[in-house]
Amino acid sequence: MATLIVFTQPSPVEDAEALHKAFKGWGADDKTIIAILGHRNVHQRQQIRKAYEELHQEDLIKRLESEISGDFERAMYRWMLEPADRDAVLANVAIRNGKKDLHVIAEIACVLSAEELLAVRRAYRHRYKRSLEEDVAANTTGHLRQLLVGLVSSYRYEGDEINARLAQSEANILHETVKEKKGNYEEAIRILTTRSKTQLVATFNRYRDEHAISISKKLLDNQASDDFYKALHTAIRCINDHKKYYEKVLRNAIKKVGTDEDALSRVVVTRAEKDLRDIKELYYKRNSVHLEDAVAKETSGDYKKFLLTLLGKQD
């Protein structure tokens, strides 16, 4: 379930005019900006953006970029984009940040549905005049390249059918891949980039039953610092249970010495209209602290107010 609280919208034109008024004077009225945009769904935000451009002959997003700054601006910028365009931007940022963020490519590719991922690839091509696959390939090598290009190029079947015999045989292949850095990497990549998510979950369950440990934990224990295994681990966790994956991303972002604002914003902004309420509940069960309280403690200013608004916290 979503955490976004959507208020009754007066009209896109009224919201656009209220925002324009908030930009006047010395410094923007950030409280008004958050009160409006933090309580509008994606369709309403696009209507406001369109109305603003028609009324004032300028792009609302560009105006926001010039009026606000820092982590608040980056989070608001991504919030204002349509989901496919937002994920295209997140993918590009991950590629430009290099090895430390390439697992985000696996995250995007494995959390989204086949149609959603296809929309991201279209948005990426339109925005950057290159394909997502092209940029991923140009910035990776070896097995990491094979895995990530395969994941972003995938168009998975989304039915519920399971082949139990196939799950058994492919669980064995994955076991060989993660065992002491030996095994057939190409076969493991083929499995993870082509099978349906339902089939893969059956394979992961078979692995756990056979070896008394989940494959994601085995990867984490053995190969935590290897870029290929980090991407492999992310892919498996996102396919197996993306909500638990996001809970851990939030936990790591908040517990880190110096909060990882990029990771924190990415999860809150991308999941607020989808399943952030479920992720919040998982966070509380795991940490005995409400996510809103943890965010409030580790952030400040308008950035904090905006994230808390998206988390559903009301004044």
φ, ψ at 231 (rounded to 5°):
-65, -40
For the chain, percent of residues with pLDDT exceeding 90:
85
Measuring CA to CA, which residue among 288, 310, 284, 285 is closest to residue 299? Answer: 310
Rounded to whole angstroms, the Cα distance separating 270 from 267 reads 5
pLDDT of residue 180: 62
CA 213 and chain centroid, separation: 26
pLDDT of residue 29: 94
- Can you tell me which residue has the tokens 């010495």? 257
Task: Quote the DSSP letter at residue 141.
Answer: -
Tokens of 247: 């809970």
Rounded to whole angstroms, the Cα distance separating 11 from 307 reads 24
Whether 177 has a pLDDT exceeding 60, the answer reads yes
pLDDT tens digit sequence for 129-159: 999 999 999 999 999 999 999 999 999 999 9
